[in-house]
Amino acid sequence: MEPLVQPTAEEITRLILEARSRTLDLVGDFTDEQMIGPSLRIVNPPLWEIGHVAWFQEKWALRHLRGEPAVRAECDGLYDSAAVAHDTRWNLLLPPRGETLDLMQTILDNVVERLGSGIPSRDEVYFHLLGLFHEDMHDEAFTYTRQTHGYPPPHLGHITTVPTPGGGPYPGDAEVPGGTYLLGALPGGTGQFARDGSFVFDNEKWAHPVELRPFKIARAAVTQSEFAAFVDDGGYREPRFWSEAGWNWRTAASADHPIYWQEDSSHRWHRRVFDQVVPLEPHKPVLHVNWYEAEAYCKWAGRRLPTEAEWEMAASAEPGGAEGSDVTQLSGWRKRRHPWGDEQPTPDRANLDWLAMGCLDVGALPSGDSYFGCRQMLGNVWEWTADTFGPYPGFVIDPYKEYSQPWFGDQKVLRGGCWTTRSRLIRNTWRNFYTPDRRDVWGGFRTCAVDG
């Protein structure tokens, strides 16, 4: 795996300016009322969230890195997500939209000015990328906030939709032989960056051997038509398919089908996509299902969710090298950065960056297949795994201490990214995590055979 080239200050500036442009595009058409929105446990008021994005950037790229004072001292009491309880964010005395946008621009201008030109230090690279990737993650959240509230899809006129190779279903299993596999990011020369020079979060650190039995994993995510068969067979009404916690959630939520599905008078399923209702798309992945729903489907289908290690091995392993010859090669397996190899994502390999403005058929993008033949393991839809989110052996907390550690033990892990995830952010070792009841995120799943 060749090391990535260290970015210049000019390249980092281009990235953070592009991210800010995307943020503003995603909320630019909101009315003042929509900038606050209904108070819900699962999303934030957009007016608070854009201020939080700018506050976070200033905290790490200016205050922490350079020791500079805050532009506005009161911002810590407004935008610090670790200190400001979620359900209070609708009641804060937030600056109005124009003032918030001015604050964001001032912070961004200061960041760009201090970054300057030339080759930044490793610390500069790390903390500027931390702010960039944090904004990328919130941009994905703005997109599912629009879906949650039934707002129109975002207007991203500068995005050019590209032709999509392939389509339709992609049934069947890929057989993975198992063995000793390194789960996690490969360590580099410092604690901040991975072996290939890339930024990684603390929950990806570091690669450690796990033993896996041979297994069979679906070549594609579960489709809407496959999940509809579970719904139509009464799967939501049968306690035998649900864990105790899952059945308690289903009962409390009065759930009889995925959250945005609607049945017409002819008993045909439709689903809401932003502010439109469309017929079910049979070969696109089911999404907006939570971990409990995925677990229940698996039991109904006689399948199971993959573990994190199984998912990552299916996505990233390829034969390479003699056993023990290098940390990247163990028991004959080498880790790829992406399912198709170490090359960066392209539109013919992965549905990312809003390029398709929605999910594609699970059979699309064959150029993105993993070595074992699994399709769309990056992009299109996040995939729930069986595992509870926790630290890897030897876990050491990063400077952004609230990112991972507070959530260990009560969240479930998702892998692979979705159509709104940034291509610069996602990789095979990336770990996302949500509570098992979350249905608002772009979450789906693929399954494994129970006998493998």
Domain ranges of the chain: 9-149, 163-452
**Mean pLDDT for the chain overall:** 93
Query: Which range (8-17, 190-199, 206-215) has the least confidence?
Result: 190-199
Rounded Cα distance, 452 and 448, in Å: 7
pLDDT at residue 324 is higher than 80:
no
* Confidence at residue 325, expressed as pLDDT on a 0 to 100 scale: 43
In this structure, the dihedral spanned by the alpha carbons of residues 86, 253, 227 and 450, taken in order and rounded to 10 degrees, is 90
Q: Of 245, 361, 346, whose CA–CA distance to 296 is shortest? A: 245
Q: Taking residues 16-22, what's their average pLDDT?
A: 97
What is the three-class DSSP state of 184?
Answer: coil
81-95, 183-197, 319-333: least confidently modelled range: 319-333
pLDDT at residue 140, as a whole number: 97
Give the pLDDT confidence score for residue 42 in this predicted structure.
86
Which overall architecture, per CATH, does domain 9-149 show?
Up-down Bundle (1.20)
pLDDT tens digits for range 121-130: 999 999 999 9
In this predicted structure, the answer to whether residue 452 has a pLDDT above a threshold of 70 is no
At residue 83, the pLDDT reads 95
- What pTM was estimated for this model as a whole? 0.95
Q: Would strands 208-212 and 412-415 be described as parallel, antiparallel, or unpaired?
A: unpaired
**163-452 CATH:** 3.90.1580.10
| Mean pLDDT, range 368-382, rounded to an integer | 98
Cα–Cα distance for residue pair 131/180, rounded to 1 Å: 35
pLDDT band at 331; cut points 50, 70, 90: low
Q: What does the pLDDT average to over 298-315?
A: 98
Q: Give the residue-averaged pLDDT of 388-413.
A: 96
Q: Is the pLDDT of residue 329 over 60?
A: no
Of 244, 254, 330, give the one whose Cα is nearest residue 295. Answer: 244
Query: What is the pLDDT, as a whole number, of residue 156?
Result: 85
